């Protein structure tokens, strides 16, 4: 069994890292698990624990989806949370609404359904998870930091491929092993 996910890799630039580290520094006293910058990505599909004999079929489906998708640009912007202001669980960076990434996700889901992999019941919400919140001592201060960083350009990213990764859980955080890359050719 391998813990798998399909994702668009993001390569943080200077502006991205400046915003990321400013938020991280401001919240240094809170119990927050930060995603390492080299692990930043947009998850298209989380497969979870997957039998290894399913990987070739997943690869074929993802390859077919990539053939139908065209390269596009993403504008990363804004900061927000998942969960409520009383119980925030995730800090994320958002992106300018793009039909292209929504279309890519639909094609990926469709091709995976062809091989019997359910898409899940949640809608695809494109975002970059930058941190997972364990607990907060000062929710008001936390919300102030998020509000201060809520709006604004972060980075422009050219997307011309996506990847299938294995997530290996380690004590100091996950390690992502590349299984295969899929160039957008549509």
d(CA 138, CA 136): 6
User: What's the DSSP call for residue 59?
Assistant: H
CB contact at 8 A, 4 and 174: no
Round to whole Å and give the CA distance between 22 and 10.
Answer: 19
Residue 53 among the catalytic residues: no
- The closest alpha carbon to 156, from 38, 11, 7, 46, belongs to 11
In the set 41, 53, 54, 163, the catalytic residue is 41
Catalytic residue among 54, 98, 127, 163: 127
With 0-12 CB in 10 A as exposed, 13-18 as middle and 19+ as buried, what is 155?
Answer: buried
127 catalytic? Reply is: yes
In sequence order, the β-bridge partners of residue 129 are: 92
CA distance 91 to 136: 13
Active site amino acids: 41, 127
């Amino acid at each position: 069994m391998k813990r798998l996910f399909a994702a668009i890799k993001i390569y943080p630039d200077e502006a991205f890292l400046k915003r990321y580290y400013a938020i991280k520094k401001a919240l240094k006293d809170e119990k927050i698990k930060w995603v390492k910058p080299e692990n930043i990505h947009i998850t298209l599909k989380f497969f979870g624990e997957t039998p290894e004999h399913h990987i070739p079929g997943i690869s074929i489906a993802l390859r077919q989806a990539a053939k139908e998708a065209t390269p596009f640009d993403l504008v990363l912007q804004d900061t927000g949370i998942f969960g409520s202001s009383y119980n925030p669980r995730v800090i994320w960076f958002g992106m300018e609404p793009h039909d292209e990434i929504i279309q890519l996700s639909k094609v990926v889901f469709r091709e995976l359904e062809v091989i019997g992999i359910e898409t899940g019941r949640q809608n695809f919400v494109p975002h970059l998870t930058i941190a997972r919140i364990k607990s907060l001592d000062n929710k008001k201060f936390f919300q102030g930091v998020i509000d201060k960083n809520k709006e604004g350009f972060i980075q422009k990213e050219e997307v011309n491929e996506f990847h299938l990764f294995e997530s290996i859980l380690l004590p100091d955080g996950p390690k992502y092993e590349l299984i295969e890359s899929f160039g957008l050719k549509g």
